[in-house]
Amino acid sequence: MQARMTNPAYVLPGAMKGIGGIFQAIGGSGLGQELAEIVGLRASQINGCGACVHGHTANLRKAGASEERISAVAAWRHAPFFSDAERAALKLTEAVTRLADLSQESVPDALWDEVADHFDEKELSGLILTVSLTNMFNRINTTIQEPVGTTWG
C-alpha cells in the first residue's frame, strides 16, 4: 500500500519546522510522554488513522507501557489500568476529537474543571496541543491514505 502523495508536512517548506516547534513546546510542558501517547492513541482510534494508531502503540511499547494498558485504551472507561488524571485526559481527548458529534459545548465546564484538577496550566497546554496536533495528523494521514508502519523524521 502506498500513500496518495508525500505527506504535506514534507511538501511545504517550513511545515516540519513549525510542527517541530510545537513538539518542542509540548516537551517542555511537563506533560508525561506516556500520557501524551495514550491520548494520541485514543484520538487516532476515534479518527480511524491506522498509521497513527500503529505509531502511538509502538511508542507506548518503547516507553515501557504494559500491553494491558495499551490494549485497553479504546475501552478505558471499563479498565482499571488508568489513573484519575489519565481518565480526565482521555475524556478531554474524546470531547475535543469528537467536535462534530456534539450538540452542546465541546468542553463543558464540569469536564474542564475535572481536567484542571489534575494538570497545571503548562501541562494543560501540552495536553490540548497534543490532542490538537494528533487530530491534525489524523486528518492528513487519512486524507492521503498514509499506510500503517510509516515512520517520520
Cell numbers given for 138: 489524523
Within a domain: residue 45? yes
Residue 135: partners with Cβ closer than 8 Å, 6 or more residues away:
43, 47, 96, 97
Within a domain: residue 4? no
Specify the residue for cell string 494491558.
Answer: 68
Within a domain: residue 106? yes
Q: Which H or E element spans position 24?
A: helix 15-27
Q: What is the pLDDT of residue 94?
A: 97
Q: What is the pLDDT of residue 100?
A: 85
Q: What is the pLDDT of residue 16?
A: 92
Closest CA to 117 of 140, 87, 82: 87
pLDDT digits (tens, 9 = 90+) for 5-43: 999 999 998 999 999 999 999 999 999 999 999 999 999
The domain total for the chain is: 1
Within a domain: residue 150? no
Specify the residue for cell string 510545537.
Answer: 22
Taking a C-beta distance cutoff of 8 angstroms, is the pair 8, 15 a contact? yes
Provide the whole-model pTM: 0.95
Q: What is the pLDDT of residue 19?
A: 95
Q: What is the pLDDT of residue 101?
A: 78
Within a domain: residue 37? yes
CATH number of the domain enclosing 113: 1.20.1290.10
10-residue block means of pLDDT along the chain (153 residues)? 92 93 97 98 98 97 96 98 98 95 86 98 98 97 93 64
> Burial level of 37, CB count in 10 A (0-12/13-18/19+)?
buried
User: Cα 44–134–147 angle (5° rounding)?
Assistant: 55
CA atoms within 13 A on the CB side of 98: 15
Q: What is the pLDDT of residue 150?
A: 79
**Which domain does 52 fall in, by range?**
13-144
Q: What is the pLDDT of residue 45?
A: 98
Within a domain: residue 24? yes
Within a domain: residue 149? no
Residue 17: partners with Cβ closer than 8 Å, 6 or more residues away:
none
Within a domain: residue 1? no
